[in-house]
Amino acid sequence: MSDGPDTIAALASGAGRAGVAVIRVSGPAVPAIARALLGRLPSPRRAVVAAFAGADGRALDRGVALYFPAPASFTGEHVLELQGHGSPVLVDRLLARLLELGARLAEPGEFSRRAFLNDKLSLDQAEAIADAIDAGSSAAASAAMRSLEGVFAREIEALRSALIELRVYTEAAIDFPDEDDVDFLGDGEIAGRLADIRRRLAALIDRAREGARLREGLRLVILGAPNVGKSSLLNRLARRDTAIVTEIAGTTRDVLHEQLAIDGLPLTLVDTAGLRETDDPIEAEGVRRARAELAQADRVLLVVDDSRGPGPDDHCLLEEIGDRCPVSVIANKIDLSGAAAGETRLAGREAVRLSATTGAGLDALAAHLRRAAGLAGDSEPDFVARRRHLEALARADAALDRGHDRLVVDAAGELLAEELRVAQAALGEITGAFTSEDLLGAIFSSFCIGK
């Protein structure tokens, strides 16, 4: 046995019954497996229709086979793609046959990991594949595609090269201090370049934040007195009947989560029992959960009945929320109050007047939430970003901040050079130019099998 990579196989299309199932095989044993399974090695990149032969020579299934020789394949290895019938039983039998022929089952993300290790993808591009597959809205899907095209990776790499150049320049200034009576550290060249890099990094952080918001969206908790129309609003937004809408006060006892997207912005809406004090043990548990939800929320939608306006309970709620979480007051039932739909202010907070029953004012709510998410304007974020990316960008930013002080306050070139190195390494983690084995494991194991 060679000590190179082995050959892996997995179902690449969704599990369950479907018209077609795609099984992907990657590794050095692919040509031998193809000959045994198909009776021949198909011409590269040409779809052939063939029987997939079992050990006894009888057909397990019939379908399309595609052979991509290394290195021109997704993983950079020899790859065989088998498109068979989408029955779980047939898929299992075909996978079993591939294992018999020397493949092993792929671990989650293992195909993408091999593509990354063979320089087919940068790390953020590999993540973009997962994001494109998981995308909850069409805006998120197109941003994931732009990430996959390398938009984010190119910007990060450009910044990283600027950092490397500045570090080399700074180290040269340290090695040749006061050459010809020129003060390299103090002549403003290094400070100017550093300021420029910090400006570019700050702009990239803003765009990455938007990209992360697009991927993750807003988590909204719906609060309000009984019967103001919380469940009706949720149903109207979700256009489904997941929450129980009744005229008995206090029916929504448990916490309900609803995932949806409005105008391309993913939302997690959480309908709660509210925060009111109660002796009913079941309701008390609901209140405890509502408080826990509040801690994780990006924003509270406090629903009030516009024909009555915010009541004493609502003011208590606002007091309890304090500035722990931004609040939008939703003044519902304008079909009863007769007020005009749209954005306004109530109880000192941003507010939207609408009717869950007629749907009036829902456009204003969508615009309001997009603005709350920092997605104002018509421009879509041009790439998706993850928490991991934001965290690495923040570390780079902090290092440059310290570096600036080392230069300006301490005039210590060596210490600046060290901070530049830290910033450079942090940016390198995003694209995978500088990545530990642990981080790779954590990223790729969160992928689905077959990616």
Contacts with ligand GDP, residue ranges (CB under 6 A):
224, 226-232, 245-247, 252, 332-333, 335-336, 355-357
Smallest distance from ligand GDP to CB 7, Å: 56
Comparing CA positions, the residue from 192, 177, 161 lying closest to residue 412 is 177
Q: From the list Zn ion, ligand GDP, none, which binds 356 (C-beta under 5 to 8 Å, kind-based)? A: ligand GDP
Stretch that binds Zn ion, among 18-26, 244-252, 255-263, 433-441 (CB under 5 A): 244-252
Q: In this structure, are residues 36 and 50 in contact, taking their beta carbons and an 8 Å threshold?
A: no
Q: How far is the CB of 234 from ligand GDP (least distance, A)?
A: 8
Question: Of 170, 175, 173, 120, which Cα lies nearest the Cα of 148?
Answer: 120
97 vs 230 by CB, closer to Zn ion: 230
Q: Which one of ligand GDP, Zn ion, none interacts with residue 142, CB within 5 to 8 A by kind? A: none
From the list 29-37, 212-220, 245-253, 411-419, the region that binds Zn ion by CB under 5 A is 245-253
* Closer residue to Zn ion (CB): 69 or 250: 250
The residue within the footprint of Zn ion, chosen from 112, 252, 268, 328 (CB under 5 A), is: 252
Nearest CA among 208, 262, 265 for reference residue 239:
262
C-beta of 313: minimal distance to Zn ion in Å?
Answer: 15
* Sequence-distant (≥ 6) Cβ neighbours of residue 7 within 8 angstroms: 25, 26, 27, 28, 29, 30, 33, 102, 103, 104
Is 333 flagged in the annotation as binding? Answer: no
Is the four-CA dihedral 275, 278, 281, 282 of positive or negative sign? negative
- The first and second tokens of residue 195, run together, are 């300021």
Provide φ and ψ at 253, rounded to 5°. -85, -35
Q: What is the DSSP string of 202-270?
A: HHHHHHHHHHHHHHH-EEEEEE-STTSSHHHHHHHHHTS--S---SSTT---S-EEEEEEETTEEEEEE
* Residue 274 Cβ vs Zn ion, minimum distance, rounded to whole Å: 9
CB of 254 to Zn ion, least distance (A): 11
**Among residues 81 and 314, whose Cβ is nearest to ligand GDP?**
314
| Residues between 191 and 230 that touch Zn ion (CB under 5 A) | 230
* Residue of closest CB approach to Zn ion: 231
